[in-house]
Structure 1
Amino acid sequence: MHPLAADESSTYPIGAETVHGDLYVDDLIAGGDSTEEVLYIKLQTTSLLGQGNFKFKWGSNSPGILRDVPDVGKESFLKFDDGSDITKALGIILDSVKDKLLFSFVPQRELGKNSKRSALFTLARCYDPLGLIGPTLTKAKILLQRMWRDKLECDVSLPQLLNTAWSAFCNGFADTQHLSFPRYVLQPGAITEIHAFCDARLEAFEAWVYTRSAKDSNVQVYLLCSKARVAPLKTITVPKLERCAATMIAQLMENPEDLHVLTPGQF
């Protein structure tokens, strides 16, 4: 698709820019600040890819963008735990009707017991590239690190203290299966600020980025993304871990325009 976009860039400049910048393997995610802008992007991209006989199934948070798309060319919906119609954007569960990102969490147990294998399986199912539930998942990563430190066998029941801690984490995190975050975190015409924080403790260090948009008396603050790392098993002082956190947030803020690929109002 990239060579095709290069060959057709003079005829379809917007389509070529979209393919080069917004194509992830075989998934294309693009957006704009108005319906008209997105329709033009879709027209150019469809025409460009049509030159190579490439076809996409389209989905959008705005029904008007899909009004001329036949049913066979629309993305099929899946069902979420609560019955909502959802689709997936780069592996992230998206409710395009409510324009929200959803998360599902189901603890895995083996014959009614907790083990290192079940903990690994549970944590691996929590796909969260933006770190929206990262602060909570850090607790699970710390517990998992303790399991490796104690050299536990994969299928052996966890010791009492670890079993109690892991069960408490799973029980406290059960509501996440219905947790949702707004995809669009800005307000049109508002003054927008990006605020970043970082902190560290002996077990882990983390960084968080928030958006603050203010329009008249309406102020909205949302978590944009976060990152966390479990501290090494070798004891490191808190000041050193804080420097690690500062480095991580500096890297996260290096390209703020890339922090949230799903930010445009219409997509």
Structure 2
Amino acid sequence: MTAEQSIEKAIENTIKRNFYVDDMLKSVATIDEGRRLAGNLIQTCKTGGFKLTKWASSHRSTLEAIPEEDRTQAFKNLNFNPDDLQTEHALGMQWDIESDELGFRTRIKLKSATKRGMLSTISTIYDPLGLAAPAILPMRRTFQELCKAKIGWDDDIPPKQHKQWKKWLESLPQLESEFRINRCMKPLDFGRAQHAELHHFSDASESGYGAVSYIRIINHSNEVNCALLMSKARVAPLKQITIPRMELTAATVAIRLDKMLRRELDVVVDNSYFWTDSKTVLRYIMNKATRFHTFVANRLAVIHGGSTEDRWRYVNTAENPADECSRGHKRLQRAH
């Protein structure tokens, strides 16, 4: 492949995979590569009548190749005073350009203490990666209780749920002030990945179930770096089912996360491993001789279709990070 063909392929890949509506998010290995890609993208889109504007980068020198009028306001006139840099939006999340971290904005307008007001407030926290799931799950559970009790959309919520709602609103600013996660999956001086693994943890409880995914990268010096990628959390269904069956459902969530991440990540993933604190689930997965009931059989079909038995591991409940996906967390923790 010639250099020109390589550039054309990089541009084509970026346009196909890194644009979402009118936003483009892209990471590259070096500053020079970023500058070249930005210039080529501008020219390519220009031929189709599209002008790319509001450019921002965690590396300031990258933007020297961008016309001043096309940069985001924080980078106009190359004013790189950290006190002047504003937080940018990245697909609904907050991107701190100076520290290159992702976070959330929780300065929301107060709504009425009704089901309608609760749903509006909960939906305000846009969380496509599920990073705020431990903070949101408890209130989704409360909302489910109101639905089960057949409370009207504009009726005042009962005192018990109102107390929970008020306490949750008071703790919500912690999500903005205390939660930060590095945007980049590896340190700047880490180098290229020689080996990459995905590790998925699943868990379930009476409140809900879910899974969380991490990537483990090893470079040429055998240095290891782990990074949180995303999670999925669901409230327990209204129709009560046993915890082992909930654990099995959580395991299927881990399988779906693996398929999606393998499709979307630019990193070549060598292996995927799945962790659960349920020995019952592990016995289900290892048992191919027994004919199970439909509920179990359907979920085992998903698990066996997306993994092999030797990729499943047991993790102690106290060490299972997915525990917060299934139960929620009252106090937000930093995720560095």
Q: What per-residue deviation string (whole Å, max 9, x for no partner) do you get for residues 176-232 of structure 1?
A: 122322111313237754322100112211101123457889865443211011121
Alignment of 1:123-134 (within 5 A): 123-134=122-133
Displacement of 1:83 in angstroms is 8.8
* 2:80 pairs with 1:114: no
- Tell me what 2:21 maps to: 25
1:12–1:48: 8 Å Cα contact kept in structure 2? no
SS at match of 1:48: helix
1:88–1:94: 8 Å Cα contact kept in structure 2? yes
- Tell me what 1:34 maps to: 30
Equivalent position amino acid for 2:49 in 1: N
2:93–2:105: 8 Å Cα contact kept in structure 1? no
1:14–1:44: 8 Å Cα contact kept in structure 2? no
1:225–1:260: 8 Å Cα contact kept in structure 2? no
- Tell me what 2:172 maps to: 173
1:108–1:121: 8 Å Cα contact kept in structure 2? no
Distance of aligned partners of 1:201 and 1:60 in 2 relative to their CA distance in 1, 3 Å threshold: same
Give the TM-score normalised by the residue count of structure 1.
0.81
| Aligned-partner Cα distance in 1 for 2:198–2:212 | 10
SS at match of 1:135: helix
Alignment of 1:8-157 (within 5 A): 12-57=8-53, 58-77=55-74, 85-106=86-107, 108-110=109-111, 114-157=113-156
SS at match of 2:229: strand
- Tell me what 1:230 maps to: 235
- Tell me what 2:186 maps to: 186
Where does structure 2 lack aligned partners over 5 or more consecutive residues?
76-82, 267-336
SS at match of 1:248: helix
2:38–2:66: 8 Å Cα contact kept in structure 1? no
Q: What per-residue deviation string (whole Å, max 9, x for no partner) do you get for residues 135-169 of structure 1?
A: 22111111111111111122322211111222222
| Aligned-partner Cα distance in 2 for 1:260–1:195 | 14
SS at match of 1:211: strand
Displacement of 1:11 in angstroms is 8.3
Question: Which of the pair has the greater relative contact order for Cα pairs under 8 Å at 6+ separation?
Answer: 1
1:76–1:87: 8 Å Cα contact kept in structure 2? no
- Tell me what 1:264 maps to: none
CA RMSD of aligned residues (A): 3.0
| Aligned-partner Cα distance in 2 for 1:107–1:142 | 20
| Aligned-partner Cα distance in 1 for 2:199–2:164 | 33
SS at match of 1:30: coil
1:225–1:259: 8 Å Cα contact kept in structure 2? no
Equivalent position amino acid for 1:232 in 2: P
Structure showing the higher strand proportion among its residues: 1
Q: What per-residue deviation string (whole Å, max 9, x for no partner) do you get for residues 238-261 of structure 1?
A: 111111100111010124345678
1:12–1:45: 8 Å Cα contact kept in structure 2? no
2:56–2:71: 8 Å Cα contact kept in structure 1? yes
1:204–1:230: 8 Å Cα contact kept in structure 2? yes
- Tell me what 1:6 maps to: none
Where does structure 1 lack aligned partners over 5 or more consecutive residues?
1-8, 262-267
Give the TM-score normalised by the residue count of structure 2.
0.66
Distance of aligned partners of 1:220 and 1:10 in 2 relative to their CA distance in 1, 3 Å threshold: closer
1:56–1:73: 8 Å Cα contact kept in structure 2? yes
| Aligned-partner Cα distance in 2 for 1:10–1:106 | 44
| Aligned-partner Cα distance in 2 for 1:39–1:226 | 32
| Aligned-partner Cα distance in 2 for 1:47–1:66 | 15
| Aligned-partner Cα distance in 2 for 1:59–1:131 | 24
- Tell me what 1:205 maps to: 209
Displacement of 1:37 in angstroms is 1.5
Equivalent position amino acid for 1:86 in 2: T
Equivalent position amino acid for 2:247 in 1: E
Displacement of 1:119 in angstroms is 1.1
1:60–1:96: 8 Å Cα contact kept in structure 2? yes
Displacement of 1:13 in angstroms is 3.1
